[in-house]
Structure 1
Amino acid sequence: MNKEDLKIVRVPIPTPTLWPHTTTNSYLVGNEKETILIDAGYDQPETKAVLEQALIDHELAQPKSIILTHFHKDHAPGVLQLTEWEATIFCHTNEKDDMLHSISPLKTLKFLEDGDQISVANHTIQILHCPGHTSGQLNLYIPATGILIAGDNFIEKGTSWIGTPDGNVSDYLQTLNRLKELIISKIGPGHGDWLLNPYEHIDFVIGRRLQREEQIKSLLQEHGPLSAESLAQKIYQDHVHPSILEVAKRTTEAHLIKLEQDGLAFRTGSDYQLKD
């Protein structure tokens, strides 16, 4: 079967997600005989309506498998609107408890691990464990097309937040460098349109994270001990939409934790300072 016989459809679903995005991407992968759904959006009736219309518009089979890239409320609990499909729900083992909470009262999950492969419409999809945004973030790579479905490892506008208790900046940078080794034609992000310049975008995100780390080190050097909240105010105040200040603070804290783990900073109470 040629790659042209496999349909990969991005389905933006309205969700109360973070500014500037107003939708969360689900992806339908398959054909008229067999299809999987990647991510299921928010738990609201519009989720089902939008997905079922996409199945009709693109002549795709109703999915019997739903793969959730991570447990966040704008990506996972939409499965509660899709129970009539009687689909099997998959996630990474690290997400088990958080996922069960996110999709409650559903109680049945199956798990995918790094290196697993699944077959859809006679095509192989490689499962990648790509932690950073969350500890169990899954990405899906389709070698025949070079397409990477990346969950919230990427968003079209800006960069994803990486914060406690689930995110880890060191893991995220390792994930980004690993993804650069793939042969990628385009990336399907968690929010926004397809990323058609994959390597340039990966380098942009790596650069942003490294730039933020250097900025935090400079601010600690200049001002002495600071909390994550104080640092976030200095970095982001008047530069970002107020609605994302909380995740900006959590991303700042994740960078501080990395500096501490790297032996470059230490914490006293809620304040961090650089080591001499």
Structure 2
Amino acid sequence: MKTGNECKVIRVPIPTPTLLPHTTTNCYLIGNKHESILVDAGYDQPATKIVLQRVMKENGLALPKSIILTHSHPDHAPGVLQLVDWKPVVYCHRQEEQATLAAVAPWDQLSFFEDGDRISIAGEEIIIFHAPGHTAGQLNLYISSKQILLTGDNIVAEGTSWIGPPDGNMSDYLQTLKRLKQLKLNKIGPGHGEWVENPHEHIDFVLGRRFYRENQIKSLLEEHGSLTVVHLTNLIYDKLPHPNVFEVAKRTTEAHLIKLMKDDTVIMDDSYFSLK
């Protein structure tokens, strides 16, 4: 007999003006009829609240009293402003504080989670991970009994997430992926797209793609001698889903170059990069 006490983890895709091939951003409702939380809040538009309230009603969930933001980007955080009447406590990582306040202004008060913090919702323990990469203050959530990981934009269902300045760091990202891979996982709730049902294989795919790009950059520099970020990006990404994706592709190339300079493999001279 169902009592409504079981904890549900529900992916809620909300239409947002995000980067192709994705057209929605995932929010996640976690809880039961007595208590629940919301992870990410989507874009600041009326559809955000309409969709969330419909899903809450369909699943018999209590009104969330807390919203945990994985990061501050405009397709994940500003939807908080549509949910003011819920009177939620809004959480982020302290490294994301200023960017989050800018994203949710005039909201003026945040609370913070740090790596290793634990919360209990509807009888389920949730472990908070500080998982930098896509942004410096990215938070990921691990529901240990269900072996579910909510990754924000560290993982997307189709392709790979962009990583680059000013928010992202490739060295941090690779370390985060290696750490997340050590978890026991049944599935991943990505920032965009369907549930990832082959979590470890998918993390391996993302790691493989990043190492492939790194080696590709080194090969191109060896072939051409020296190249700018724009030249490299044009050579690497010859087919993009839309021209507006070029900027984030360029930032991802730049993030690889920053890592390679940190590794003492690449040097920069007057905006041109070459192998050391």
TM range (shorter): over 0.9
What do the CA deviations read for 1:170-206 (whole angstroms, capped 9, x no partner)?
1111001101110010000000000000000000000
Q: How does 1:99-114 map to 2 (within 5 A)?
A: 99-114=100-115
Counterpart of 2:125 in 1: which secondary structure? strand
TM norm structure 2: 0.97
Cα-Cα RMSD:
1.1
Which residue is equivalent to 1:51?
52
Give 1:271 deviation, angstroms: 1.3
Which residue is equivalent to 2:254?
253
Which residue is equivalent to 1:143?
144
How far apart, CA to CA, are the structure 2 residues paired with 1:33 and 1:60? Answer: 7
TM norm structure 1: 0.97
**Poorly superposed stretches of 4+, deviation over 6 Å:** none
Which residue is equivalent to 1:25?
26
Which residue is equivalent to 1:119?
120
Counterpart of 1:115 in 2: which secondary structure? coil
How far apart, CA to CA, are the structure 2 residues paired with 1:53 and 1:240? Answer: 32
Q: How does 1:1-276 map to 2 (within 5 A)?
A: 5-275=6-276
What do the CA deviations read for 1:25-58 (whole angstroms, capped 9, x no partner)?
0000000000000000000001000001010011
Q: Is the 8 A contact 2:221 2:227 kept in 1?
A: yes
Give 1:237 deviation, angstroms: 2.6
How far apart, CA to CA, are the structure 1 residues paired with 2:249 and 2:67? Answer: 30
Residue identity matched to 2:89:
T
How far apart, CA to CA, are the structure 2 residues paired with 1:81 and 1:241? Answer: 29
How far apart, CA to CA, are the structure 1 residues paired with 2:169 and 2:239? Answer: 26
Give 1:139 deviation, angstroms: 0.3
Structure 2: unaligned runs, 5 residues or longer? none
Q: Is the 8 A contact 2:20 2:241 kept in 1?
A: no
Residue identity matched to 1:106:
W
Give 1:241 deviation, angstroms: 2.6
What do the CA deviations read for 1:74-117 (whole angstroms, capped 9, x no partner)?
00000000000000000001001111001111110000000000
How far apart, CA to CA, are the structure 2 residues paired with 1:269 and 1:82? Answer: 48
Residue identity matched to 2:12:
V
How far apart, CA to CA, are the structure 1 residues paired with 2:17 and 2:75? Answer: 7
Counterpart of 2:106 in 1: which secondary structure? coil
How far apart, CA to CA, are the structure 1 residues paired with 2:112 and 2:230? Answer: 36
Q: Is the 8 A contact 2:155 2:190 kept in 1?
A: yes
Q: Is the 8 A contact 2:240 2:246 kept in 1?
A: no
Structure 1: unaligned runs, 5 residues or longer? none
How far apart, CA to CA, are the structure 2 residues paired with 1:36 and 1:217? Answer: 45
| Matched positions, count | 273
Question: Between the two proteins, what is the percent identity of the paired residues?
Answer: 60
How far apart, CA to CA, are the structure 1 residues paired with 2:153 and 2:238? Answer: 24
